[in-house]
Structure 1
Amino acid sequence: MTAFDLTKFKALSFDCYGTLIDWEAGIAAVLSPWAEEQGLGLADEDLLVAYAGHEAAVEREAPATLYPEVLAEAFRRTGAGLGLAVSDEWAGRLGGSVPRWPAFPDSAGALARLAERYRLIILSNVHRAGFAGSNELLRGRFDAIITAEDVGAYKPAANHFRALEETLPSLGVARGELLHVAQSLFHDHVPAKREGLPSVWIDRRHDRPGWGATPEPSGDWDYRAAYPSMAAFADAVDSAFAGT
């Protein structure tokens, strides 16, 4: 991977859930007590792996469905795959849980530092109300917010990225001045490569094997650099600008 100049960008677009918000912890906080109630001897990681493909399938099959119902239906399918029914109460519990999903400890501080250098944009597979709740934790100063509810589809579909491109002129940002920042290779780095958008990987699972709640990427992907956390990325940005 070749070195690149972080100072040449004017804007950063962010995936939120998995990158800034710990969506795996949020999902596991519901799946784990359900599994315990059902007498399943499965660890959180096993539950996340069982869940991963179902969410992506629901998003692909019903792209206009709001995220709370995507979560609920994915939970139902996860239960069915494990040979168990998921009640409407449990499904609704996961569907309504997004605003309570925890932020990664470094997210808010890193965003505040990055906002001193760049315009910040959210590009998220979530509904507006869910992100509003999450941003109470992130305290992000975002110049644009693009959600699945806004574009009627879920990444890795192209809708978010097309809407992003249409938004840039109003922010005074040229396409070549935008860098995408994301954890998920499947949801973000595959379509970013397809759209010719440079990206950096926030590898939140660097200390764990496997893909967790995210499906394995099914297309070509790349990224300009990888960082184990948002704090590490913000540190690299600060160092780059200090050298100018």
Structure 2
Amino acid sequence: MDFTAFKAVSFDCYGTLIDWETGIAAVLAPWAAEQDLTIGHEDLLLVYADHEAAVEREEPAPLYPEVLAEAFRRVGAQLGRPVSDAWARRLGDSVPDWPAFPDSGEALNRLARHYRLIILSNVHRAGFAGSNERLRGDFAAIITAEDVGGYKPGERHFRALDETLPRLGVQRSELLHAAQSLFHDHVPAKREGLPSVWINRRHDKPGWGATPEPSETWRYDAEFPSMSTFADAVDEAFVSRAR
């Protein structure tokens, strides 16, 4: 893949730049302990994944904190334990507290030397604003679920992206999409004909974590285990072109 052929990179944020699994488990795990559930973090995330996706599909209008809260209630129902409103709010309000992956900020700074950077995220504006205090990314555009009134893998983010690119002086053929989630991002990237990079954050873990297993076909054009290795490959490509 010729990384020098692109002028912009759109990013999924949560799972790619922000460690949402650690953030979600930081709430689900103490709730499970309070309920005397003997279930590990990975199994909790596995239970959670399909519920969040189902809420987003069934109820596209509510903001992400409400999606998190309802998904948590459904986790409790499946496991036969109550989720109080306080616990549901705790997860819903936790997005700004979720940690960034250690390499995200530095990698974004390097990539910004070569590309316009765009966020394409399933969260709400306030949630991303809190996350960007950790990332400190220089983003040319930020497109959230709140902006488009729906959630990926639906098409609304991508229609908003189509409207945004001309304002940035970027043609669609000059856009690369980078994301961890095959379900949320690489399935629609294939559908939309977008070249994509898989940031495989779970390369050393079994299973799908907080992301549902995709039921539709996906594709990606390159794979990296981290943002830093992706940025390394991009830097190398531009250095080689300049020789």
Instruction: Name the TM-score class by shorter chain.
Output: over 0.9
Q: Does 1:181 align with 2:212?
A: no
Q: How does 1:104-119 map to 2 (within 5 A)?
A: 104-119=101-116
2:27 is matched with 30
Give, as a single letter, the amino acid of the residue that structure 1 aligns with 2:111.
L
Q: Does 1:49 align with 2:46?
A: yes
Q: Does 1:233 align with 2:235?
A: no
1:85 deviates by 1.1
2:12 is matched with 15
2:3 is matched with 6
TM-score (norm 1): 0.98
Q: Does 1:142 align with 2:139?
A: yes
Give, as a single letter, the amino acid of the residue that structure 1 aligns with 2:3.
L
Q: How does 1:136-215 map to 2 (within 5 A)?
A: 136-215=133-212
1:121 deviates by 0.2
1:102 is matched with 99
User: Unaligned stretches of 5+ in structure 1?
Assistant: none
User: Unaligned stretches of 5+ in structure 2?
Assistant: none
Aligned mates of 1:85, 1:74 — CA distance in 2: 13
Identity %: 77
TM-score (norm 2): 0.99
Alignment RMSD: 0.4
CA deviation vs aligned residue, 1:55-89 (integer Å, no higher than 9, x gap): 00000001011000000000000010001110000
Give, as a single letter, the amino acid of the residue that structure 2 aligns with 1:215.
P
Aligned mates of 1:140, 1:166 — CA distance in 2: 22
CA deviation vs aligned residue, 1:164-202 (integer Å, no higher than 9, x gap): 011000000000000000000000000010011110000
Aligned mates of 1:146, 1:227 — CA distance in 2: 24
Task: Report the secondary structure of 1:243's partner residue.
Answer: helix
1:64 is matched with 61
- Work out which of the residue numbers 222, 227, 232 in structure 1 matches 2:219: 222
Aligned mates of 1:192, 1:50 — CA distance in 2: 26
Moved over 3 A (4+): none
Task: Report the secondary structure of 1:116's partner residue.
Answer: coil
1:216 deviates by 0.2
Number of residue pairs matched by the alignment: 241
2:72 is matched with 75
1:220 deviates by 1.1
Task: Report the secondary structure of 1:201's partner residue.
Answer: strand
- Work out which of the residue numbers 85, 89, 93 in structure 2 matches 1:88: 85
Aligned mates of 1:103, 1:215 — CA distance in 2: 21
Q: Does 1:40 align with 2:37?
A: yes
CA deviation vs aligned residue, 1:123-182 (integer Å, no higher than 9, x gap): 000000000000000000000000000000000000001100110000000000000000
Give, as a single letter, the amino acid of the residue that structure 2 aligns with 1:219.
E
Task: Report the secondary structure of 2:178's partner residue.
Answer: strand
